[in-house]
Amino acid sequence: MHDYRHPAEPFRIKSVESIRLLSRQERLRILQEARYNVFKIKAEDIYIDLLTDSGTGAMSNEQWAALMRGDESYAGARSFYRFEKTVREITGKKFIIPCHQGRVAENVFFSSVLKAGDYVPNNTHFDTTRANTQHKGGIAIDLPCPEAATNEQIPFKGNIDVERLESFIEKKGADKIPVVFMTVTNNSSGGQPVSMANIRETSALCKKHGIRFYFDCARFAENAYFIKQSEPGYQDKSIKEIAQEMFSYADGALMSAKKDGLANIGGFIALNDDGLRQKIIELLIIIEGFPTYGGMSGRDIDAMAAGLQEVLNEEYLAYRVGQIEYFGSIIEQAGAPIIKPTGGHAIFIDAGHYLPHIPVDQFPGQSLTVELYREGGVRAVEIGSLMFGGLDPVTGEKITAPRELVRLAVPRRVYTGSHLEYVADCIARITKRKNDLRGLKIIRQAAFLRHFTADMAPLKEEEIKVG
């Protein structure tokens, strides 16, 4: 498409925020104080923050202008109707319920559809979706396609395994499965996209069994861009048309607009089922607010509506996906194995392969995450045994994480190519002495989502095992 390393940023910078790199000595002290959990480090002590792409993006001048249009009326605000029109147009759903972020949408949705002991299959649950399912007594089932666990350079590794889904439905019975979810893009499986064909097949299977089919659509526009790039028949369609077709196969969707809504806060539920809407709204009013503001100010709703329109811009998506691809290539050159092909919002380093001398119960992913901060003030997040291992809070069974990954999530429109090159340089320095890295142990942990708050400590010499 072009001869550059990746499409240059299709925007110029109008407002800047200073960042600083603390001394190595300060970083060591901060790590100790944070108990080796990077969630507990203050943002001002981070140089490059790749913890998440959620709510961390830069808004456009149009979004800042939209803030001024915000209508702060308690009920029936203009902001809501502008937002509703935008989401209806993209999703084709009748009812649009605003929620201040994705996990609230999950909370009110699962509280309204789940009974204890029900199953919720998904291509791969994101951690809050899993926790919300479990919190209501449900059992979260991941059914990623077999290619997801390989390093094959093929598109659409975010797909659900339709055959396994079918046999799962036949085994457990449709009455035990109130909803099947599809996460687009598949965040926990490497930000990999899902194909339209897979969406269509899953939808047909759910219809056949009378089971609801919903999207967890936090990154739907990035997914639509991958479909345009790689799935035959979509090259001449606009991103909006592709998104509309994706949503046409689902009964509804839950969205965290902190990703492809290009907003710092926001989310929604879109659906056609009026009975379910009523149930959701009853709970929403108790925990979020009136259904025309759902826990948000009018200005936030307007900024989200503007972001949802902007994200459909193909030039923006080409830059976004191109930037991630470039980032992946320089990290690989720096010596760290990554999940390939690169997905839409992050690079996932395979820490299990990078640090094979650290066994999974000594958290190789967390070891690399800690080292990235120590080396260069870079904040990443572990997606491995710390996030997904431990004991199932519902069944008490021991859970094994599928892989030991470290995610470097790239906030939207925030960091330039040279910031990303700096991160790759840090990895190159770590690679030179990676055999000296050690594992960690947990000192204290919570039952749900333990990675957010766990206290950790480096292992003592006598505690070190070899992987």
Collapsing DSSP to helix, strand or coil, 223 comes out as: helix
The active-site residue, picked from 80, 119, 126, 415, is 126
Structural tokens at position 67: 């803030």
Catalytic hit among 216, 300, 302, 350? 216
Helix (H, G, I), strand (E, B) or coil at 435: helix
Q: Would residue 392 show up in a list of annotated catalytic residues for this protein? A: no
322 sits near ligand PLI (criterion: CB under 6 A): no
- Strand-by-strand arrangement of the 212-216 sheet: 95-99, 267-271, 252-256, 212-216, 179-183, 119-122, 139-142
Inter-helix orientation angle 298-310/78-91, to 10°: 30
Question: What does the per-residue mask of binding to ligand PLI show for 357-376, with x meaning CB under 6 A?
Answer: --------------------
Report how far residue 224's alpha carbon sits from residue 238's, in angstroms, rounded to the nearest whole number.
Answer: 9
Is residue 110 near ligand PLI by the rule CB under 6 A?
no
Characterize 388-398 residue by residue with b for buried, 16 or more Cβ atoms within 10 angstroms of its Cβ, and e for exposed. bbbeeebeeee
Catalytic residue among 11, 74, 204, 452: 74
Residue 267 beta carbon to ligand PLI: minimum distance, rounded to whole angstroms? 5
Among this protein's residues, is 126 annotated catalytic? yes
Catalytic, 451? Answer yes
In the residue annotation, 220 being an active-site residue is answered as no
Residue 102 binding ligand PLI, by CB under 6 A: yes
Q: Which of 165, 194, 211, 218 binds ligand PLI (CB under 6 A)?
A: 218
409 is catalytic: no
Applying CB under 6 A, does 56 fall inside the site for ligand PLI?
no
CB 241 within 8 A of CB 223: no
Tell which residue, 27, 80, 84, has the closest CA to residue 378: 27
C-beta closer to ligand PLI: residue 139 or 380: 380
Give whichever of 104 and 276 is closer to ligand PLI, judged by the CB atom: 104
Residue 60's identity, in one-letter code, is S
Region from 125-133, 139-147, 268-276, 453-461 binding ligand PLI, contact rule CB under 6 A: 125-133
CA dihedral 57, 59, 60, 64 (to 10 degrees): 180
Helices (H), 210-313: 220-230, 239-248, 274-287, 298-310
Q: Are 390 and 47 in contact (CB under 8 A)?
A: no
Give the footprint of ligand PLI on residues 230-259 (CB under 6 A): 256, 258
Residue of the chain from 30, 41, 50, 54 that contacts ligand PLI (CB under 6 A): 54
Binding mask 254-293 for ligand PLI (x = CB under 6 A): --x-x--------x--------------------------
Window 12-41: contact mask with ligand PLI (x via CB under 6 A)? ------------------------------
* Alpha-carbon separation of residue 348 from 51, 130, 188, 212, 441 (angstroms): 12, 20, 10, 31, 22
Residue nearest to ligand PLI (CB): 102
Q: How far is the CB of 236 from ligand PLI (least distance, A)?
A: 29
Query: Would you say 129 or 133 has its CB closer to ligand PLI?
Result: 129
Residues that bind ligand PLI (CB under 6 A): 52, 54, 101-103, 126, 128-129, 183, 187, 216, 218, 256, 258, 267, 409
Residues annotated as catalytic are: 74, 126-127, 216, 218, 259, 451
